[in-house]
Structure 1
Amino acid sequence: MSNTPYKQQYELSRLIERLCKQDGVHPTTIPSLFLIRESIITEPISRVNEPSFCIILQGEKEVLLGEERFLYGPGHYIVASVDLPVTGQVIKASADSPYLAFKLEFTSSQVLEVLNGTDFKTGQGKNAKRAMYVSEIEPSLLNAVVRLASLLGTPKHIPVLAPLLKKEILYWILQGPHGEALEQMALEGSNASRIREVIDHIINNYEESFRIEELAEIANMSVSSLHRHFKDVTAMSPIQFQKRLRLQEARRLLLAESLDVADVAFRVGYESQSQFSREYSRMFGFPPRVDIKRMREHYV
């Protein structure tokens, strides 16, 4: 029996290889389930990570949240319980042994549905916890993941069984060693869920300036409490969080469209192009034009 988890991971990795003949993130016929394959070490990619669960079957990945580094590989999973601006890089992959991963996105209401159907002891009054963590995958969770992925071979069962298996996966994550971080984010009125409302506001209005007092009012907290809990959840201050959103969106716009640097800087909320270029270089390691040229050459 001791080989069962290893065998299940192997079976899941073979399934991903069969279904993903090319590198990239592949949507599946199961809503919110994605299979990922990369045969090369990638450039660091900055994006907003939606609430999700991701397990690696082969290779290794590094994710940066603020200044915090998460490294994970086979047998580990990473959970993001709220939208977070992160930088991710596949750091171990090759043509013979590609990086393979399984990613399932979810919403706080889906987590709440699981909580409402169980007798979890809620911790609404506790300090908010980090909204991203890495953990070893437990056999019960891995078993549910394998059963969900196996449905890809029997599409007729997906409408009925996929929602049940997704609930089971969330249940086992909540039962895991860091489940409270996910639980807090879904519970109405908890410090973490109030920070989630602030995060949503910043993401939806990232290009606009704000006063910290306005954010504290959204969270129904004092300014000092907002700062403390926001950093507990995101590893950043609200200003740092907004800056990362602005710079990530600027990079996306520069890569996707033939826009002038000054136009992009203005569009994402900067009044000064020189300040934009300084902060862009600090975050991505190169000035905007150099970085975009380098990125395009890498992915040609």
Structure 2
Amino acid sequence: MSEALQELIAIAGRHARGRRTKTAIPRVSIGRSEVPTPPLPELCLPTALFVLQGTKSVLIGDRALRYDAASYFVYAVEAPATSRLIEASAARPYLAIGFALNVEAVAALLVDHKPPAGDDFMTCPISDDLLDALRRTLRLLDRPEEIPVQPIDG
């Protein structure tokens, strides 16, 4: 396990307060569970979800996806799904970081940068560069005074 992933697990573990915790960083939440769950229906909102520890499965339509530690998935649109936590325990809780997406920004990216043809949904491993960016972002939770929110003049 990489040093960056170990640090992310430690930070997320310190700041998680229940199943889903909103953080002081706008649009960022931490998911935590110490127990596996049965399949549960949910509405997946536009989010980038990064699994740090544990395993989760999601069924969207007829597509079954599995998120393992150090993998991520992007929901660019709302989608009904059934999800379940497969691996979670008190000693090694399921931990994930969610970034709520701005749908208008995603739409603009899709117009400017055509996505490759292929699967509509897939999980991907988190690269070392992305892990480092996540680590630097979550470190702000230990230094909340460095999370200023600047108003946007419009």
What is the TM-score with the length of structure 2 in the denominator? Answer: 0.86
SS at the partner of 2:36? coil
In structure 1, which of residues 98, 102, 109 is the aligned counterpart of residue 97 of structure 2?
102
Q: Does structure 1 conserve the Cα–Cα contact (< 8 Å) formed by 2:22 and 2:30?
A: yes
5+ long unaligned stretches in structure 2: none
Aligned length: 150
Q: Does structure 2 conserve the Cα–Cα contact (< 8 Å) formed by 1:36 and 1:102?
A: yes
Shift in CA distance, 100/123, structure 1 to aligned 2, threshold 3 Å: closer
In structure 1, which of residues 62, 70, 78 is the aligned counterpart of residue 65 of structure 2?
70
Separation of aligned partners in 2, 1:67 and 1:128: 16
Instruction: Output the amino acid matched with 1:140.
Output: D
Separation of aligned partners in 2, 1:140 and 1:88: 28
SS at the partner of 2:133? helix
Alignment of 1:139-288 (within 5 A): 139-159=128-148
5+ long unaligned stretches in structure 1: 162-300
Shift in CA distance, 112/66, structure 1 to aligned 2, threshold 3 Å: closer
Deviation at 1:42, TM superposition (A): 0.9
Instruction: Output the amino acid matched with 1:123.
Output: K
What is the TM-score with the length of structure 1 in the denominator? Answer: 0.46
Alignment of 1:125-136 (within 5 A): 130=120, 132-136=121-125
Per residue, is there more strand in 1 or in 2? 2
2:28 corresponds in structure 1 to: 33
After superposition, give the CA deviation of every residue in 1:233-271 in whole Å (9 maximum; x if it has no partner): xxxxxxxxxxxxxxxxxxxxxxxxxxxxxxxxxxxxxxx
Structure 1 position 12 matched with structure 2 position 1: no
Q: Highest Rg: 1 or 2? A: 1
Q: Does structure 1 conserve the Cα–Cα contact (< 8 Å) formed by 2:76 and 2:106?
A: no
% same residue: 29
Instruction: Output the amino acid matched with 1:87.
Output: T
Separation of aligned partners in 2, 1:127 and 1:57: 28
